[in-house]
Amino acid sequence: MDLGIAGKNAIVCASSRGLGRACAISLAAAGAHVTINGRNLEKLKEAADLCNAAGAHGVKIVQADVSTREGQDALLEATPQCDILVNNNGGPPLKDFRELDREAIIDGVVMNMVTPIELIQRVLPNMEKNSFGRILNITSVSVKMPILGLDLSSGARAALTAFMAGPARSIAGNNITVNCILPGMFDTDRLKSSTATQARLRGVSEEEMAETRASSVPAKRFGTAEEFGELAAFLCSAQAGYITGQSILIDGGLFNTSI
């Protein structure tokens, strides 16, 4: 399926690994010119190679912390004419809410709420000028259902969702969409890390803990990064222009709802 975004310029934040990298690969395969971002240069080069193998040409690498103004400047200098923005960032580590001080809470809100909003503000003028824009925020299933220990991450991502609900409608008439993808448990480094933490707390092996977590999903498995990337690419497509202001779950049925 031709997604109609060949030649479009895409910025994918925190895309050196995991779900961000999967988004970059799928967008590259659809013909978009991709700028990837992360703090580990070696991982970025690996991600660029995967994008090129998928059909990309001249992937741009920006080694920077996207939560800083300097990092954002570097991204926009590399891709000043941004048509597609995928907001992604690391989240606060698993921690009991009682252990969070003011500085930690502010850092979490900056990472998972303030930074995406700042980037949206900065890419919007070009999208409005060209009457085309696709903005995708990677949040979490925890926005819909609590995950103990991820309270700060969940709160900041939920705040981003609520904040952008109004603006998403206000810019829809200019062929600019804003959507969120809410991933459940995906087979990524972050999942492996949280599984190891839970295994240690419960006194079981990581393998046992992984099996327990996978069995809690109605699909009886973890999602793959490739599945996530393909959904993201479609939501950034020309055909998805009538989908906006939505929070789309991809969780194997984990969140128990009738609709």
| E-only strand ranges, 139-227 | 176-183
**Token digits for 38?**
């992360």
Q: Among all chains, which residue has been given the structure tokens 């993808």?
A: 181
pLDDT tier at 247, thresholds 50, 70, 90? very high
Please give the residue that has the higher pLDDT: either 190 or 124: 124
Question: Residue 110 is part of a domain; what is its CATH number?
Answer: 3.40.50.720
Residue 255 lies in a domain: no
Supply the pLDDT for residue 36: 98
Q: What would the pLDDT profile of 54-69 be if each residue is shown by its tens digit?
A: 987 789 999 999 999 9
Q: What would the pLDDT profile of 15-49 be if each residue is shown by its tens digit?
A: 999 999 999 999 999 999 999 999 999 999 999 99
Supply the pLDDT for residue 75: 98
Judge if 60 and 96 occupy the same domain: yes
Residue 76: closest CA among 55, 58, 60, 89: 60
Supply the pLDDT for residue 197: 85
Judge if 35 and 85 occupy the same domain: yes
Q: What average pLDDT does range 196-205 have in this prediction?
A: 90
Judge if 87 and 192 occupy the same domain: no
Residue 259 lies in a domain: no
Judge if 118 and 193 occupy the same domain: no
CA–CA distance from 8 to each of 40, 108, 132, 154, 193 (Å)? Answer: 26, 31, 10, 31, 35
Q: What would the pLDDT profile of 136-194 be if each residue is shown by its tens digit?
A: 999 999 999 988 889 999 999 999 999 999 999 999 999 999 999 999 999 998 899 88
Residue 26 lies in a domain: yes
- Within 10 A of 119 (CB to CB), how many other CB atoms are there? 24
SS3 204: coil
**Token digits for 2?**
């031709």
Q: Side chain identity at 85, as an amino acid letter?
A: L
Judge if 123 and 196 occupy the same domain: no
Judge if 129 and 202 occupy the same domain: no
- Within 10 A of 239 (CB to CB), how many other CB atoms are there? 13
Judge if 28 and 72 occupy the same domain: yes
Q: In angstroms, how far is the first alpha carbon of the chain from the final one?
A: 28
Judge if 70 and 25 occupy the same domain: yes
| 198 pLDDT more than 90 | no
Residue 1 lies in a domain: no
Q: What average pLDDT does range 3-11 have in this prediction?
A: 97
Residue 201 lies in a domain: yes
Spatial neighbors of 60 by CB under 8 A, at least 6 apart, are 33, 34, 35, 36, 78, 79
**Token digits for 51?**
């994008």
Supply the pLDDT for residue 92: 85
Residue 149 lies in a domain: yes
Judge if 32 and 156 occupy the same domain: yes
| E-only strand ranges, the chain | 9-12, 33-38, 60-63, 84-87, 133-138, 176-183, 247-250
For residue 203, what are the domain limits? 187-222
pTM beyond 0.85: the answer is yes
Residue 2 lies in a domain: no
Judge if 149 and 206 occupy the same domain: no
Residue 256 lies in a domain: no
CB 29 within 8 A of CB 55: yes
Q: Domains in the chain: how many in total?
A: 2
- Whole-number average pLDDT of the chain: 95
d(CA 99, CA 141): 23
| 227 pLDDT more than 90 | yes
Q: What would the pLDDT profile of 73-121 be if each residue is shown by its tens digit?
A: 999 999 999 999 999 998 888 889 999 999 999 999 999 999 999 999 9
CA–CA distance from 105 to each of 13, 151, 154 (Å)? Answer: 21, 10, 12
SS3 65: coil
d(CA 88, CA 116): 8
Query: What region, left, alpha or beta, does residue 58 occupy, with left being phi > 0 and alpha being psi -120 to 50 degrees?
Result: left
